[in-house]
Chain A
Amino acid sequence: MSDMHLVDLNGKLEAEPIRKGFGRGLLAAGKLDVQVVAACADLTDSTQMNLFKAEFPDRFIEIGVAEQNLVTVGAGMAAMGKIPFVSSYAAFSPGRNWEQIRTTICLNNRPVKVVGSHAGVSVGPDGATHQMLEDIALMRVLPNMVVIAPCDSVEAEKATLAMAKDKRPNYLRLAREATPVITTADTPFEIGRAYVFEKGADISLIATGTMTYQALLAAELLFKDGIEAEVIHVPTIKPLDAETILKSVRKTGAVVTAEEGQIIGGLGGAIAELLAEEYPAPMKRVGMYDRFGESGSPDELLTHFGLDAKHIRLAAHAVLDKKR
């Protein structure tokens, strides 16, 4: 769809870790606003906070391996008017410090920006302990919290800049591995909006994060099967853009969701909740089916756990069988 200004999927695609876009966005946000500060729990290079740290050493706090402290120090800085970005691996933050995020950030309503890197099984060889799959569910249930999962590094950069201006608590989900860059500088991004990346009338493929690219590939496979799929990218999982999603599902009457995380409580859960109340439709959720990951190469794992275009296509056919 031309107004989305996407990269041509059939051309040569660049790939870059989504977290790189965060690093650039944070640096840019820091230049735009002196109140932007950063703190990290001993993973400054991995989470790409090193760019900000090098430019603004006095506005960077090294917390050490202490994630409970990470987010509560952030809450304290936010209390003084700062806009703190606090980062670690998602498995540890928000994995370990959920109550502190709940009480001192969400209930306390402070605009702390929690950044969880290395989400999903594509973390790879580090194995299940480090492959965070429950972060969307954990963050989505918290009142006041905004949950964002960009699809590529370009969008992550935009999301980071938007978060610096947002007055609410935010969670940003990032992936470790290089992800194809499918959006451009002109692709729209606004917190709270979902975008129709591909138009179609037969089924809605609703995806977030790294799986949006896979959903676009799946749409191409389905086209060859004679099915016109609509691909909706949902970078903001909460608040959910119900209007865009319902408009699509009212048209297609069939849904597949896709995410690199637990389907229970994740994007799949969120869409199921919305549709159950507003417009019940045949639906399948692609994601992790109530299990943990394991060690392996990222590509092997994505195939092994069915987190790819091929499995989205299969799910689409299964849903369309039900629709008939």
Chain B
Amino acid sequence: MLQKLPIEQLDKIANDIREDIIKMLEHAGSGHSAGPLGLADIFAALYFDILKYDPKKPDWNERDLFLLSNGHCVPVQYAAMARAGYFDRKELMTLRQLGSRLQGHPERTKLPGLETTSGPLGSGLSQACGMALALRMDKQQHRWVYVVMGDGEQDEGNVWEAAMLAGKYKLNNIIAITDRNNIQIDGPTETVMPLGDLKAKWQAFGWHVLEINGNDVEAVIDACAMGRAIQEQPVMIIAHTIPGKGVDFMENDFHWHGSPPNHEQAVKALHELRTLGGKIRSEHE
């Protein structure tokens, strides 16, 4: 986005994105709730401050590249893209329906503006590496490659293959954001397969690591600005988020990883989010 928005407006956008996520998931009757809600602040920051793009020219050759590696969180990306002007918000209600461009997991060939197809975990970062290598060959390093990935996803070996390669080639135009929400389908990440000290792990692979509150839009914007200033290394931002953020009964409960709200739950969630939206407005007024 060319025109920078004030933080309170970005907070409001994040809240609007959350409302859209609830409506989409309820309507679709399947899909993931917790991750997308937790990522709403990061996506508000990405699509309304950080990323360079033109929604009317999705293949603009000066755009930044954004990859969602944990494709199951795509409702948050669709909601952000609709608000950013890629397509009409009404289309959000076609999520997961036959013939929709909004597939259950993102498909590049279906929806302009998506840079890749993802869902099977662990392959986003390595595609980002390929993009960054190509940009380097073409002397296009003013363009940035952003990746959002899950924490549970880091059980995948492919992630660490990519981590090693990016470290080796010092792919400094990659900024990756790990959604550190500590849950995956079978339970807490540290129970399912302990990730341990993620910061030390990424550092050991040659990355510059930042740790932030991923539910703080301003912190996300600042970390990405810091990341772009790091010249010698790829950058990993470990963004601590609350899964289900904004909906009290979903927050921090891994059972909401892969489930949508039913009608009653959606009504309750939307009520909470609208109350929260009111609070955001009054705090900033």
CB within 8 Å of B: which residues of A? 37, 58-59, 61, 63-64, 66, 68-69, 72-82, 84, 99-100, 103-104, 107-109
Assuming the contacts A73-B165, A76-B126, A79-B131, asked whether A103 and B118 have C-beta atoms less than 8 A apart, the reply is: yes
Assuming the contacts A37-B137, A68-B158, A107-B107, asked whether A84 and B119 have C-beta atoms less than 8 A apart, the reply is: no
Contacts of B165 in A (CB 8 A): 63-64, 66, 69, 73
Segment of B80-88, B108-116, B208-216 in the binding face: B108-116
Contacts of B162 in A (CB 8 A): 69, 72-73
In the docked arrangement, what's the CA distance between A79 and B117, Å? Answer: 11
In the docked arrangement, what's the CA distance between A84 and B122, Å? Answer: 21
Q: Is the interface of A mostly helix, strand, loop or mixed?
A: helix
Q: List 28 A-B contacts (CB under 8 A).
A: A58-B137, A63-B165, A64-B165, A66-B164, A68-B161, A69-B129, A72-B123, A72-B126, A73-B127, A73-B130, A73-B133, A76-B128, A76-B130, A76-B131, A76-B132, A77-B130, A77-B134, A79-B65, A79-B115, A80-B130, A99-B120, A100-B120, A103-B120, A104-B118, A104-B123, A104-B127, A107-B107, A108-B117
In the docked arrangement, what's the CA distance between A71 and B279, Å? Answer: 48
Residue contact A73 to B137, C-beta cutoff 8 Å: no
Residue contact B130 to A78, C-beta cutoff 8 Å: yes
- The answer to the question of B138 belonging to the interface, with a C-beta cut-off of 8 Å to chain A, is yes
In the docked arrangement, what's the CA distance between A85 and B234, Å? Answer: 25
In the docked arrangement, what's the CA distance between A79 and B118, Å? Answer: 14
- The answer to the question of B157 belonging to the interface, with a C-beta cut-off of 8 Å to chain A, is yes
- The answer to the question of B280 belonging to the interface, with a C-beta cut-off of 8 Å to chain A, is no
Residue contact A75 to B134, C-beta cutoff 8 Å: no
Contacts of A82 in B (CB 8 A): 134, 137
Q: Is the interface of B mostly helix, strand, loop or mixed?
A: helix
**Which B residue's beta carbon lies closest to that of A69?**
B161
- Which of these, A61, A81, A103, contacts B123 with CB under 8 Å? A103
In the assembled complex, the CB of B140 is this many whole angstroms from the nearest CB of chain A, namely 8
**Which A residue's beta carbon lies closest to that of B145?**
A76
Residue contact A109 to B118, C-beta cutoff 8 Å: no
Contacts of B137 in A (CB 8 A): 37, 58-59, 82
Contacts of B122 in A (CB 8 A): 68
In the docked arrangement, what's the CA distance between A82 and B131, Å? Answer: 9
Assuming the contacts A37-B137, A73-B165, asked whether A68 and B126 have C-beta atoms less than 8 A apart, the reply is: yes
Contacts of B169 in A (CB 8 A): 61
Assuming the contacts A63-B165, A100-B158, A109-B109, asked whether A69 and B126 have C-beta atoms less than 8 A apart, the reply is: yes
Residue contact A104 to B117, C-beta cutoff 8 Å: yes
- The answer to the question of B195 belonging to the interface, with a C-beta cut-off of 8 Å to chain A, is no
**Which A residue's beta carbon lies closest to that of B134?**
A80
Contacts of A109 in B (CB 8 A): 108-109
In the docked arrangement, what's the CA distance between A79 and B122, Å? Answer: 18
Residue contact B126 to A108, C-beta cutoff 8 Å: no
Contacts of A77 in B (CB 8 A): 130-131, 133-134
Assuming the contacts A58-B137, A68-B161, A109-B109, asked whether A75 and B116 have C-beta atoms less than 8 A apart, the reply is: yes
- The answer to the question of B7 belonging to the interface, with a C-beta cut-off of 8 Å to chain A, is no
Contacts of A81 in B (CB 8 A): 134
Residue contact A64 to B119, C-beta cutoff 8 Å: no
In the docked arrangement, what's the CA distance between A84 and B129, Å? Answer: 13
In the docked arrangement, what's the CA distance between A82 and B5, Å? Answer: 36
Contacts of A63 in B (CB 8 A): 161, 165
Contacts of A64 in B (CB 8 A): 161, 164-165
- Which of these, A37, A66, A75, A107, contacts B127 with CB under 8 Å? A75
Residue contact A107 to B117, C-beta cutoff 8 Å: yes
Residue contact B158 to A108, C-beta cutoff 8 Å: no
Contacts of A66 in B (CB 8 A): 161, 164-165
Residue contact B123 to A79, C-beta cutoff 8 Å: no
In the docked arrangement, what's the CA distance between A186 and B119, Å? Answer: 46
Contacts of B132 in A (CB 8 A): 76
Q: Pick from B117, B123, B129, B165 the residue with the most CB of A within 10 Å.
A: B123
In the docked arrangement, what's the CA distance between A276 and B131, Å? Answer: 44
In the assembled complex, the CB of B78 is this many whole angstroms from the nearest CB of chain A, namely 18
Q: Mark B148-179, 1 if CB is under 8 A from A, else 0.
A: 00000000011001101100010000000000
Residue contact A104 to B116, C-beta cutoff 8 Å: yes
**Which B residue's beta carbon lies closest to that of A108?**
B117
Q: Pick from B116, B117, B130, B135 the residue with the most CB of A within 10 Å.
A: B130
In the docked arrangement, what's the CA distance between A77 and B129, Å? Answer: 8
In the assembled complex, the CB of A153 is this many whole angstroms from the nearest CB of chain B, namely 29
Assuming the contacts A100-B123, A107-B117, asked whether A75 and B161 have C-beta atoms less than 8 A apart, the reply is: no
In the assembled complex, the CB of B241 is this many whole angstroms from the nearest CB of chain A, namely 25
**Which A residue's beta carbon lies closest to that of B71?**
A103
Contacts of B135 in A (CB 8 A): 80
In the docked arrangement, what's the CA distance between A104 and B123, Å? Answer: 8
In the docked arrangement, what's the CA distance between A43 and B213, Å? Answer: 43
In the docked arrangement, what's the CA distance between A108 and B117, Å? Answer: 6
Given A68-B123, A84-B130, output 13 extra A-B contacts at Cβ < 8 Å.
A61-B169, A63-B161, A63-B165, A64-B161, A66-B161, A68-B122, A73-B129, A73-B133, A75-B123, A79-B65, A79-B131, A99-B120, A100-B158
**Which B residue's beta carbon lies closest to that of A112?**
B130
Contacts of A99 in B (CB 8 A): 120
In the assembled complex, the CB of B61 is this many whole angstroms from the nearest CB of chain A, namely 9
